[in-house]
């Protein structure tokens, strides 16, 4: 897929608008051969600072095996449709592009495992805003050494 393919998608997705405020989410991870690896819930809260063009977003993932992963993002809107993000376990920076109702987010990150170790994965996340603007679905490909290791399917809902 290419982000330009979604330029006409409606409603218009604005990362800073959707992720401002409280959100909840649900998801699952499927292994390379399709087996279920885990399920998880997400509690998230974001704050957009229009003066600094910056979104501060905290996401807490609670996995069905009892472990948690907390992501504390600082995302800067560079220009129309282009974003850059930082997070403590991200290698360098994350880069994002938006077109129409879709947002693509790419980065490498160390992911905490249930046993306390960490595994580094490449992420290629695709977010798709739905018609009401209150719901979004996401699909992520996790790679290791350039080979897809797992996929994530996630559903977000804005808490009003």
**Which residues, including other chains, have CB under 8 Å from residue 51's CB and lie 6 or more apart?**
none
Q: Is the whole model's pTM more than 0.85, yes or no?
A: yes
Alpha carbons 101 and 33: distance in angstroms, whole number: 30
CA-to-CA separations, 18 to 86, 127, 128, 133, in angstroms, rounded: 18, 11, 11, 8
- pLDDT reported for residue 21: 97
Domain boundaries, the chain: 3-30+37-159
What does the block give as tokens for 78? 């560079």
Residue 27, class by beta-carbon neighbours within 10 Å (0-12 exposed, 13-18 middle, 19+ buried)?
buried
pLDDT at 34 > cutoff 90: no
- Report phi then psi at 115, rounded to 5: -85, 5
Integer Cα distance of 119 and 149 in angstroms? 11
**What is the pLDDT confidence band of residue 138, given thresholds at 50, 70 and 90?**
very high
What is the pLDDT of the chain when averaged over all its residues? 96
Residue 132: per-residue pLDDT:
82
pLDDT in tens, 62-110: 999 999 999 999 999 999 899 999 999 999 999 999 999 999 999 999 9
**How many CB atoms sit inside 10 A of residue 61's CB?**
20
Superfamily designation of domain 3-30+37-159: Calycin beta-barrel core domain (2.40.128.20)
- Here the tokens at position 144 are 């290791």
131 pLDDT higher than 90: no
Of 80, 143, 138, the C-alpha closest to 107 is 143
């Amino acid at each position: 897929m290419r982000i330009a393919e979604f330029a006409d998608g409606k409603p218009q997705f604005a990362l800073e608008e959707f992720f401002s405020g409280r959100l909840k989410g649900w998801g699952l991870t499927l292994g390379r051969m399709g087996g279920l690896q885990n399920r998880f819930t997400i509690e998230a809260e974001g704050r957009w600072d229009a003066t600094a063009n910056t979104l501060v977003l905290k996401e807490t993932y609670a996995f069905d095996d009892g472990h948690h992963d907390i992501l504390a993002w600082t995302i800067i809107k560079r220009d129309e449709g282009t974003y850059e993000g930082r997070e403590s376990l991200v290698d360098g920076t994350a880069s994002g592009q938006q077109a129409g109702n879709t947002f693509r987010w790419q980065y490498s990150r160390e992911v905490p495992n249930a046993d306390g170790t960490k595994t580094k994965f490449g992420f290629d996340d695709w977010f798709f805003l739905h018609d009401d603007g209150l719901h979004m679905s996401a699909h992520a490909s996790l790679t290791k050494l350039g080979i897809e290791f797992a996929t994530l399917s996630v559903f977000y809902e804005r808490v009003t």
